[in-house]
Chains A and B, each alone.
Chain A
Amino acid sequence: MASLVLDQVTKTYPARGKPAVLAVDRLNLTVNDGEIVGLLGSSGCGKTSTLRMIAGFEGVTSGSIRIGERPVHMLLPKDRGVAMAFEGYALYPPLTIRDNIGFALLRERRPRAEIAARVGEIARLLEIEDILDRYPPTISAGQQQRTSLARALIRRAPVSLLDEPMSQLEPQLRAILRARIKDYLIEHKLTTVFVTHDQTEAIALADRIAVMEQGVLQQFATPQALKEEPANLFVASFIGEPPMNILDVRPADGGLAVLGLDGRPAFHVALAAPMTARLAAHARQGGLKLGIRPHRVRVGDPRGLAATVVSNQWLGDQTHLALDLAGCFLVVVAHGHVRSAIGEQVPVGLPLAAMHVFDAESGNALVHGLDTREAAAA
């Protein structure tokens, strides 16, 4: 397959009587050969415009796109070597599902036996074998979406583009289809870019995720790095379900004072002098925020602080808790079944290594993981 490079790609849409709308702003993105990349963001963030520019359905306003060594941004979609699954499915109504899926291979004049084998394989993978002889209008939205996916994946094109590929899928099929699709993409080393607003889907499928907001790339990193080293407050509070706890803090003697909802100091995070000084210097230019992910809070840590259970929800395989920690509201996820009732006290440990500090003004991350060596002796 091939690598894909976006170099300073910009897209503006003219707006009558108003300044042009900047949909994508100087986007740089390198997708390695065989890599699976997700474009993630809320509606209007520029992810779909980006995908359509790669496919060739939209022109670039400026910048360039290369597939392999070849600049493609001036080429017609059919000449770019891309296969796309559309969010609107775009199936041919007069053709059966089988012929819709095999259409591109037929046009490439592949042997009939090979086409039949590949259609069979992809239909089995996506669980649409039983509808191969039906026509698009007679099948459900979820089945149409799987057909559209099959039609793109079967081609094993240099670059596969998938637009919201699983938005209509039946929830009971999601986990298994994600797994099979990822297995297929890896096995055939398909360079893939997909667009989604659903972070669960992005995290499940992607090797790396480009998080976009208002046309600007916020961070391009592995799912793990987005969680452990979010570049800014936007990424920190966008990635993760439930999202990261973000608390107000201010420098205090020997560390940070964490502020409760009423703005008063709730508890103290002890830090060594150099880190305290560093954060205090930042705080003089603007406020600070402290982040900690829900599943990094340790419930039942005997050396922890006492928190009151506000809400306790057991989901069958994990517990979601809301805790009041001296006036701070914390969301916590535990893998086991925590049985504490509402109103009960539980001790919670907040590991320094799991804390992130952000500049409240710019939103930029300052520190990921306050090193335990920097913690002052209690």
Chain B
Amino acid sequence: MTTPRLALDRLRKRYRDTVVLDDVSLEVAAGETVVVCGPSGGGKTVLLRLISGTSSPDAGDIRIDGASVLNLGPEERDVGMAFQNFALYPHLTAFENIASPLRAHGLAEAEIKERVGSIAALLRIGHVLGHRPRELSNGQKQRTALARALVRGPGVLLLDDPLRNVDAKLRYEMRLELPRLLGSFGSAVIYVTQDYKEAMALGQRIAVLRGGRFEQVAVPPAIYDRPANVEIARLFGDPTINLYPCRPQAMGGGTIVELFGDRLPLEAAAGGLAGRDVLLGVRAEDVEVTLEPVPGAVPVELDAVTPLNVRAVLYLRTRDGKELLATVAEDEAPRFGRGHRSVWARVTPDRFLMFDPASGARLLPVAA
């Protein structure tokens, strides 16, 4: 097996009485981007500080290309960083900002010029290299910060929520551009964000960091379709997944569950759940809403229509008084008007997620 570019090995960190990171392990290959995603306070920033060397772990090891870097200072580690607040030197031009890590390593002037020029061309900021930060747009600042982090071709690249402070247009452009850009440098990339869509768009793998632990590390579709627990299911999805306490029952050789005053047959894999309390999750896109009754649909009240990008969220109330969020394609939304009318909703039992109400762990779909 090849040595990973970056290895985090059972890292622990506590501040006073609070455990901030608890037994965190992860391996990132050269050329791979792992997105660390999770709510604030989960330990993301501390993790970056440990890797960059501005803070030390209480236990565990950090290795780059197989060699421990714990005894190296931030400047000696082969790590580049870019932050959400850009952190450019205000008195230096974009060129000098980008060149600064190269100068620190004593590269020859001609080589500096060539390297800065080529990374600037790649990031489309070649025409503003003579400008100081205050003369740059937010997008240009962000690209300059990224160029500075990338210019040395670091073995490990840390990106701390770099798209947080840029406008929607640039965010989408960068989201689509970044994978190609990051891949072309061969760095092991740790990318931190709270935005699950950004995580799914950019990560070859996603590591969900909550309460100081990696609760799930997997490829993006696996996190979305088979979240390890109910909190991850709630983090990944917009609108947030619908959740209902239920109790599946054995009936006529199969298993059923009562939901919205209706009895729904469950797939065979749910057989083991008969008679126990579960939290049933239904994603908004798995609810089909119609103006006329269709087989398997239940009557619901549509209380509001709130469009969401290329979809619209329908806010429904079921006969048994539960709230249900459904999404439809934007083009279909006008049929539903402003809301406050009766419609029909149908859910697909084979798309149900089920969780243990106490531990939150996923029960269905069962692990592959």
Known: A186-B338, A241-B172, A317-B327. Is A335-B310 also a contact (CB below 8 A)?
Answer: yes
* Alpha-carbon separation in the docked complex, A206 to B38 (Å): 30
A-contacting 9-mer, from B97-105, B230-238, B251-259, B360-368: B230-238
Q: Judging by beta carbons under 8 Å apart, are A311 and B240 in contact? A: no
Q: B246 near A: Cβ within 8 Å?
A: no
CB within 8 A of B340: which of A175, A186, A335?
A186
B342 nearest CB across to chain A (Å): 15
Known: A183-B339, A186-B340. Is A313-B175 also a contact (CB below 8 A)?
Answer: yes
- In the complex, which residues 184-200 of chain A have their Cβ closer than 8 Å to any Cβ of chain B? 186-187, 199-200
- In the complex, which residues 215-253 of chain A have their Cβ closer than 8 Å to any Cβ of chain B? 223-224, 227, 237, 240-243
Known: A315-B197, A320-B176. Is A200-B308 also a contact (CB below 8 A)?
Answer: yes
Residues of A within 8 A of B194 (CB): 171
Q: Judging by beta carbons under 8 Å apart, are B303 and A317 in contact? A: no
Q: Judging by beta carbons under 8 Å apart, are A320 and B236 in contact? A: no
Binding site of A, secondary structure by majority: helix, strand, loop or mixed? helix
Residues of B within 8 A of A294 (CB): 310
> Interface size bucket, A side?
35 or more
Q: A42 near B: Cβ within 8 Å?
A: yes
Q: B248 near A: Cβ within 8 Å?
A: no
Give the nearest-CB partner of A337 in chain B. Answer: B221
Q: Judging by beta carbons under 8 Å apart, are B306 and A199 in contact? A: no
* Alpha-carbon separation in the docked complex, A333 to B239 (Å): 18
A168 nearest CB across to chain B (Å): 12
CB within 8 A of B323: which of A176, A199, A237?
A176
A27 nearest CB across to chain B (Å): 23
Chain A 121-156 near chain B by CB (<8 Å), digits 1 or 0: 000000000000000000000000000000000000
Q: B155 near A: Cβ within 8 Å?
A: no
Known: A186-B339, A313-B200. Is A179-B313 also a contact (CB below 8 A)?
Answer: yes
Q: A331 near B: Cβ within 8 Å?
A: yes
Q: Judging by beta carbons under 8 Å apart, are A179 and B303 in contact? A: yes
> Interface size bucket, B side?
35 or more
Give the nearest-CB partner of B340 in chain A. Answer: A186
A112 nearest CB across to chain B (Å): 27
Q: A178 near B: Cβ within 8 Å?
A: yes
Residues of A within 8 A of B180 (CB): 310-311, 342
* Alpha-carbon separation in the docked complex, A178 to B240 (Å): 12
Q: A267 near B: Cβ within 8 Å?
A: no
A100 nearest CB across to chain B (Å): 25
* Alpha-carbon separation in the docked complex, A205 to B307 (Å): 8
B170 nearest CB across to chain A (Å): 10
Residues of A within 8 A of B184 (CB): none
Give the nearest-CB partner of B236 in chain A. Answer: A316
Give the nearest-CB partner of A199 in chain B. Answer: B168
Known: A223-B307, A310-B180. Is A335-B240 also a contact (CB below 8 A)?
Answer: no
A200 nearest CB across to chain B (Å): 6
Q: Judging by beta carbons under 8 Å apart, are B172 and A203 in contact? A: no
B206 nearest CB across to chain A (Å): 11
Q: Judging by beta carbons under 8 Å apart, are A241 and B239 in contact? A: no
Residues of A within 8 A of B308 (CB): 175, 200, 203-204
- In the complex, which residues 21-54 of chain A have their Cβ closer than 8 Å to any Cβ of chain B? 42
Chain A 324-368 near chain B by CB (<8 Å), digits 1 or 0: 000000010101000000100000000000000000000000000
Q: A314 near B: Cβ within 8 Å?
A: yes
B348 nearest CB across to chain A (Å): 14
Q: Judging by beta carbons under 8 Å apart, are A243 and B224 in contact? A: no
Q: A172 near B: Cβ within 8 Å?
A: yes
Q: A295 near B: Cβ within 8 Å?
A: yes
B335 nearest CB across to chain A (Å): 12
Q: A372 near B: Cβ within 8 Å?
A: no
Residues of A within 8 A of B238 (CB): 171, 174-175
Q: Judging by beta carbons under 8 Å apart, are A316 and B327 in contact? A: no
Kindly name the residue among A176, A227, A333 whose own CB sees the greatest number of chain B CB atoms within 10 A.
Answer: A176
- In the complex, which residues 294-308 of chain B have their Cβ closer than 8 Å to any Cβ of chain A? 303-308
* Alpha-carbon separation in the docked complex, A310 to B173 (Å): 12
Chain B 322-340 near chain A by CB (<8 Å), digits 1 or 0: 0101010110001000111
* CB-CB nearest 10 A-B residue pairs: A175-B239, A179-B315, A316-B224, A204-B306, A313-B201, A242-B172, A182-B304, A322-B176, A183-B303, A183-B304
- A224-B334, A241-B172, A320-B175 are known contacts; what are 20 more A-B pairs with Cβ within 8 Å? A171-B240, A172-B240, A179-B313, A182-B339, A186-B339, A199-B168, A203-B307, A204-B307, A227-B330, A241-B309, A242-B169, A243-B168, A294-B310, A311-B177, A313-B179, A315-B201, A318-B311, A320-B201, A331-B172, A333-B310
The 8 sampled A-B contact pairs (Cβ below 8 Å) are A175-B306, A179-B313, A182-B339, A183-B315, A204-B308, A316-B225, A318-B311, A335-B329
Interface residues of A (CB under 8 A from B): 42, 171-176, 178-180, 182-183, 186-187, 199-200, 203-205, 207, 223-224, 227, 237, 240-243, 294-295, 310-311, 313-318, 320, 322, 331, 333, 335, 342
